């Protein structure tokens, strides 16, 4: 059975297909309908996790820290259904787009920071956030989540997308995922995992809560 969608996320029909949608200004030319815009699971790992029915624990209105926000495609949807949303991205070019997305969203705070160095943004991001999203696609993805554990409330949720090919292209994805989960278990209890196919190849979606 599929968990309930968080408040602020609905399945709506676009061009005859039922798709996830949130309410907000369009960001990347996605289809819109009466103020709702498509949350494309093929472009968003978090969207794929919700679409595939992982029990994300999302209820809507969460204070969120999003690591690896890139151009802001996914984090814009998080800000649509969430509360204060901190978006960390380290590459300058996508941050230019992220700033554009944040300008129209008063609850979205863009930060040009390195997610591997939480001390460089701990003076901005508040403690006890409800949701930590790990979407940084560099080697050591699980360790990034571990290092950012300090921001998460004890009853909060980590939603992580582990990309096998960011760790090692030559290894079997299953081995890479096993290692990443072992790293995560230093500071999290893993509640659920699922491969994100067909939306994203060689990605593992992970739901975890802090130990």
Partner 1 sequence: MTDDAHADAGWFEGVGPDDPEAGAARIREGRADAPADWPEQAVESGFADDETDYYAKLHDAAVRASREAAAEREQAGDQQLVHAIRAMDDLDAQANELAERVAEWAGSRYPDAGTGIEYARELAGRDPASPVEERLVSLARRVADLADESDALRAFVERETPEVAPNLSALAGPILAARLISLAGGLDALSKQPAGTVQVLGAEDSLFAHLKGHASSPKHGVIFTHEYVRGTRPEKRGSAARTLSGKLAIAARVDYYSGDRKPELDAELRKRIDRIRGVETDHDNEGSDGDEGSDGDEGGAGE
Residue number, 129 or 206, with CB nearest to partner 1: 129
Minimum distance, C-beta of residue 164 to partner 1, in the bound complex (Å): 10
3-state helix, strand, coil in the chain (%, to 5): 25, 30, 40
| Count of helices and strands (H, E) across the chain | 6, 11
Taking CB under 8 A as the criterion, which residues in 107-166 touch partner 1?
107-112, 119-120, 122-128, 137-139, 150-151, 165-166
State the nearest-atom distance from the C-beta of 133 to partner 1, in Å: 16
Q: Give the shortest CB-9-to-partner 1 separation in angstroms.
A: 22
Chosen residue from 60, 61, 94, 140 binding partner 1 by CB under 8 A: 94
Q: Which long-range contacts (CB under 8 A, 24 or more apart) does 170-175 make?
A: 173/202, 173/204
Q: Mark the segment that binds partner 1 (CB under 8 A) among 35-43, 53-61, 104-112, 179-187.
A: 104-112
CB of 59 or CB of 99, closer to partner 1: 99
Task: Candidates 17, 25, 169, 178: give the one binding partner 1 (CB under 8 A).
Answer: 169
For partner 1, the closer of residues 165 and 209 by Cβ is 165
- Distance from C-alpha of 160 to C-alpha of 200, rounded to nearest angstrom: 13
Q: For residue 32, state whether it binds partner 1 (rule: CB under 8 A).
A: no
6: which DSSP letter? Answer: P
Which residues face 188 on adjacent strands?
Answer: 210
- Strand duo 17-23 + 9-14: pairing: antiparallel
Question: For binding to partner 1 (CB under 8 A), which residues are involved?
Answer: 70-71, 84, 90-96, 98-99, 102-103, 106-112, 119-120, 122-128, 137-139, 150-151, 165-166, 168-170
């Amino acid at each position: 059975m599929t968990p309930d969608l968080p408040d602020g996320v609905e399945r709506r029909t676009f061009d005859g297909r039922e798709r996830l949608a949130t309410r907000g200004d369009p960001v990347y030319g996605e289809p819109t309908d009466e103020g709702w815009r498509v949350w494309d699971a093929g472009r968003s790992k978090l969207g794929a996790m919700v679409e595939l029915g992982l029990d994300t624990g999302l209820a809507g209105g969460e204070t969120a820290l999003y690591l690896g926000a890139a151009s802001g495609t996914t984090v814009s949807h998080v800000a649509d259904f969430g509360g204060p949303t901190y978006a960390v991205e380290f590459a300058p070019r996508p941050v230019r787009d992220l700033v554009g997305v944040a300008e129209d969203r008063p609850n979205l705070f863009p930060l040009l920071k390195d997610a591997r160095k939480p001390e460089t943004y701990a003076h901005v991001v508040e403690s006890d956030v409800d949701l930590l999203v790990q979407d940084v696609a560099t080697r050591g993805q699980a360790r990034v989540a571990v290092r950012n554990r300090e921001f998460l409330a004890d009853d909060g949720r980590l939603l992580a997308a582990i990309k096998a090919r960011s760790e090692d292209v030559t290894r079997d994805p299953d081995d890479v995922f096993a290692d990443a989960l072992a790293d995560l278990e230093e500071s999290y209890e893993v509640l659920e995992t699922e491969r994100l196919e067909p939306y994203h190849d060689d990605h593992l979606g992970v739901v975890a809560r802090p130990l």
